Amino acid sequence: MNTKSKSILLIGYDSNIALGVLACLRKEGYYFYLLSHNHKNAAKCSRYIKKTFYYNAENDSLKDKIISIVKQYNIDFIMPYDELEIREVKIHQNELAKYAPSVLATETEFFDIGIHKLNLAKFLTERNIPCPPFATLNNLEEQERLINQVGFPLLLKPVRMASGRMIQKVYDQQSLNNIIEANRDNLSNFLLQPFIIGNDVTCNVICKNGEIICYTIQESPVKTGSNFSSNDTLCYHQDKAVISIVSSMMKALEWNGVACIDMRRNATTKEVYILEINGRFWASVLPSFVKAGVNFPLVLLKLSLGEKFEIPKLKSAIQVSFKEYIHSLLTFGKLKFSDTKYKSYLLDPIARFMQMASALF
């Protein structure tokens, strides 16, 4: 298909993800437009964005805004890249299809289970798919059972939050009691799970009707402390156990489209547990392509449009943090700048500068 005159409407909040998706699709001959409720979205400065539009997430109808832009600018494909935007487009997919096709996405019944940590933990436990034991803040029996089973420390997690944000380490019963008292009106929005010393494992997938079409697996070094954020130091590799567990889950959820599955590998037992699903693209979507060889945005585009494509295979690769690269440079080590994620930032330097600057202020 000749795509030279065609256009894509990207929809989402996150700057980094938007810039990653743009870089992955930059050579496919499309014009790109951006719709966001984040006025600081650095993708507005991208060399690949033709025009940016904004909406108010609380007061505006995203569906109506999309239809207006699609009609006015002859948009050929609607591509939400963030979680809630993907969900909203799915809800209105039949109506939006009158104007332009949109991304393949999961039915909201299962999507809402997947993106909610507590609902997902219950779903997985019922099906004997590996996940950590858990307890809710409003169920004392569950808490006692969990404490007797794994002891302290425990992790207090919000049921809806990504990238390790707002996770707290709870060291003793008194601390837990204080947290419960402080959140008395909000207990249902948290769950407790054991703190597992081990590696962060992320399995990124695109699925159709629950079947995995393509994937990457990336793994961090062992984590022992209270840093629950994502990693710059990653190893991309194959892992049959990980893909088997993820495959079982995605089939059970009848998943369609993209997903980023966060997992933990116990450093002692080597067992892998599913922690959460992010029903969107992820921060390392561009390294997934540049380093591991899987262009997820392009696969999702082709799959959604029913076009033929070659299924990409995961390549083994490493990514190191900028700190590690500098240390290697100063000690005459073998690491290269291309081993970091930052070389690809040169594809869109102004937007990437704005992205990093906004993170500081």
- CATH code of the domain occupying 198-319: 3.30.470.20
Number of helices followed by number of strands (H, E) in the chain: 13, 14
Q: Write down the architecture of domain 7-102 according to CATH.
A: 3-Layer(aba) Sandwich (3.40)
Supply the pLDDT for residue 163: 54
Encoding tokens for residue 145?
């059972």
3-state secondary structure of 346: helix
Closest CA to 230 of 129, 161, 155: 161
Q: What is the pLDDT of residues 250-288, one digit of tens each?
A: 999 999 999 999 999 999 999 999 999 999 999 999 999
Question: Can you name the residues that pair with 198 across neighbouring β-strands?
Answer: 223, 266
Domain boundaries, the chain: 7-102, 133-194, 198-319
| CATH of region 133-194 | 3.30.1490.20
pLDDT value for 232: 87
Q: Please, which residues bridge with residue 169 across strands?
A: 155
Which DSSP symbol is given to 186?
-
Which residues in the chain show pLDDT less than 70? 1-4, 162-165, 225-230
The DSSP element (H or E) to which 156 belongs, if any, is: strand 154-158
pLDDT at 229: 59
Q: Do the domains 133-194 and 198-319 sit in the same CATH topology, yes or no?
A: no
Q: Which residues neighbour 5 within 8 Å (Cβ) at sequence distance 6 or greater? A: 31
106-144 pLDDT tens trace: 999 999 999 999 999 999 999 999 999 999 998 999 999
Residue 118 in contact with residue 112, Cβ under 8 Å? no
Q: Of the candidates 286, 287, 288, 265, which has an alpha carbon nearest to the alpha carbon of residue 275?
A: 265
Identify residue 358 by its one-letter amino acid code: S
